[in-house]
Amino acid sequence: MSTPAVVDPLVSPVTPAAIRAFLGSVPSVDEVAVHARVGSLATRSIKKASKRSAIDLAIRMTDLTTLEGMDTPGKVKQLATKAVTPDPSDPSIPSVAAVCVYPARVRDAVEVVAGTGVRVAAVATYFPSGQAPLDVKLADTRAAVEAGADEIDMVIDRGAFHTGDHLKVYEEIVATKEACGPAHLKVILETGELGTYDNVRRASMLAMAAGADFIKTSTGKVVPAATREVTLVMLEAIRDFNALTGSVIGMKPAGGIRTTKDAIKYLVLLNETLGTTWMTPELFRFGASSLLNDLLMQARWLAEGRYQGPDYFTKD
Amino acid sequence: MSRLDVRKTYKLYIGGAFPRSESGRVLPATDADGEVLARVAHGSRKDLRDAVVAARGAQSGWAGRTAYNRGQVLYRIAEMVEDRRGTFVEQLGADGRDEADAEAEVDASIDRIVWYAGWADKFAQVLGNLNPVAGPYFNISAPEASGVVGVVAPGEPPLLGLVSTLLPVLVPGNTAVVVASERWPLTAVTFTEALATADVPGGVVNLLTGQPAELLPFLASHMDVNGLDISGADPGLVTAAQQAAAGNVKRVLADPPDHWATAESPYRIAQFTETKTVWHPKGK
């Protein structure tokens, strides 16, 4: 087998025709096969020590998220404290990967997590709709980075994507990437609004070609949010992009992942599609809020042998 | 030509549905002569876990109903059991009992359901109080439901024992996870079929058939269960269950009556309530 050629998938200059040709080369998705594959990978039984290690990995991969209009500095600080020490009564529980907040709350989170290794992610570019002029989106991004965000979660303009203006989507990602500076860029496709798996695959390729460090399913504000099926489609796009260019891009399913069982099924999907290289918080994240408590409850059930109740864990 | 037998599958009752055990196991239910009459689901600790989740989900809705409405729903259970009177008598009779004895147990069970249904909008008046205080305040104590309560139904009598332990738990707005009589589970399963057609919301009563010795340790130690009635459990299981229940300071009732026939009391309702006391300015 020959090693894949490292090429720029889009020839410069990027024109509507070049993008059309690039997206035209993206194969379509076999929906039935995706469901069958996801179904067959959901039957794995992960128990005892393997389960505990999966729980620890899932905790280390969690972007603990609060994205509410009613977020206060106090709530964000409390969440950031929990991100650093998810279970104060159990020092064996690791910290989560990052706290994910609105740009206006970044400083509150940074104050708490500074020096702990927990990162701060901010949603930007007029999250969750993305329906604002580009200069406003870029200003939003720069403000978040200046406030200390290590990672930026941007949204693509789904309206432009649906009208076929893929160049606009592409250029906005390129511009946002530039505005990010040293911060990592996660590109939210909002798969619940893209309609088909074919669109998800094309949008994934477009985002990666434009410079995304991560691709992310959803804002969490639209139903359906992350599903394992859509995640598989995106993971396969990451694999294809890796074969095409050699780039290693991360994946973040977000929204609707609430239980340890779910999280472990995602990890199985990841391992079987991209392999162990991707089994790290550097390349895979869960965007979640209530998932963390279920992971903690499962860890304590494994340790104590008695079923847990939510009353004994901090409320997010 | 003779018809093929159409036999009932005896399943669990969780969240208003009738699933088989996730474990796929079954246990034989035998009559007095050791003859296998049917096979019942052999509930596992994972079924128990699911039952607690269902009970927790239903609890606030059940407690949030008016006391009067809870009474109506509980009375409706009596109506549904009355409607199946013949089935219950026949099923109890298969255990080697004579018909008059079986009929007496079914009648007593129905009467007991009605008796507890009547308490739904009355227990708070009896167990609550207007406390005398030194100041211009009303000081009022009122009983509220504890939450999710685990019940191990007594082995005998199968129907009256189940009703006598379950109903007082439901009256104040608790939801229940019941482990049925191991000796005679068929009647308990038929009882859940009556519950499903009464207006009892799904998840308010969840019933597992299986072995109390296997299930009780997980029920007693469960941190999301607030109370435990093990008056019907094998005395050999009680001490360990009490110790496990201490983990989250469950209310435990381990008080087998001399005769289940006379074991109806508002104090069984009081056992699974929490007293809320409020102060209110009295004015002049």
Place of tokens 């025709």: A17
| E-state strands within chain B | 26-30, 36-41, 129-131, 137-145, 148-152, 175-179, 205-208, 227-229, 251-253, 273-281
Contacts of A307 in chain B (CB under 8 A): 49, 52, 218, 221-224
Mean pLDDT of the residues in chain A = 95
Contacts of B244 in chain A (CB under 8 A): 306
Domain total in chain B? 1
Q: Please determine, for residue A123, whether its predicted confidence score (pLDDT) is greater than 50.
A: yes
Helix (H) or strand (E) holding A50: helix A48-60
Give pLDDT tens digits for B185-205.
Answer: 999 999 999 999 999 999 999
Q: Please determine, for residue A1, whether its predicted confidence score (pLDDT) is greater than 80.
A: no
- Inter-chain touch A307–B52, beta carbons under 8 Å: yes
- Comparing C-alpha atoms, which of B138, B113, B116, B117 is closest to residue B128? B138
Q: What percent of chain B has pLDDT over 90?
A: 94
B184 falls within a domain: yes
Q: Please determine, for residue A2, whether its predicted confidence score (pLDDT) is greater than 60.
A: no
The full set of domains in chain A, from first to last, is 16-305 (3.20.20.70)
Question: What are the φ/ψ torsions at residue B262 (nearest 5 degrees)?
Answer: -110, 10
Tell me how close the Cα of B42 comes to any Cα of chain A, in angstroms.
Answer: 20
Contacts of B146 in chain A (CB under 8 A): none
- Inter-chain touch B224–A307, beta carbons under 8 Å: yes
B 45-104: CB under 8 A from A: 49, 52
Mean pLDDT of the residues in chain B = 96
Q: Is B22 on the interface with A (CB under 8 A)?
A: no
Contacts of B248 in chain A (CB under 8 A): 309, 311-312
Q: Give the burial class of B245: count Cβ atoms within 10 A of its Cβ; 0-12 exposed, 13-18 middle, 19 or more buried.
A: buried
Selected for mutation to probe chain A from B221, B223, B224, B226 (highest A CB count within 10 Å) is B223
Q: Mean per-residue pLDDT for A4-28?
A: 79
B4 falls within a domain: no
CB-CB: which of B49, B223, B244 is closest to A312? B223
Find all residues with CB under 8 Å of B125, minimum gap 6, and list them.
none
A216 an active-site residue?
A: yes
Q: What residue type is assigned to position A89 of the chain?
A: S
Q: Among all residues of chain B, which has the CA nearest to that of A313?
A: B223
- Inter-chain touch B221–A307, beta carbons under 8 Å: yes
Give pLDDT tens digits for A147-190.
Answer: 999 999 999 999 999 999 999 999 999 999 999 999 999 999 99
Q: Mean per-residue pLDDT for A134-156?
A: 97
A 249-308: CB under 8 A from B: 305-308
Range of B234's domain? 39-281
B5 falls within a domain: no
Which of A240, A252, A262, A294 is the catalytic position? A252
- Inter-chain touch A307–B244, beta carbons under 8 Å: no
* Number of Cα atoms under 13 Å in the Cβ half of residue A88: 6
Which of A82, A137, A216, A265 is the catalytic position? A216
CATH code where residue B112 lies: 3.40.605.10
The Cα B76–Cα B82 span in angstroms is 10
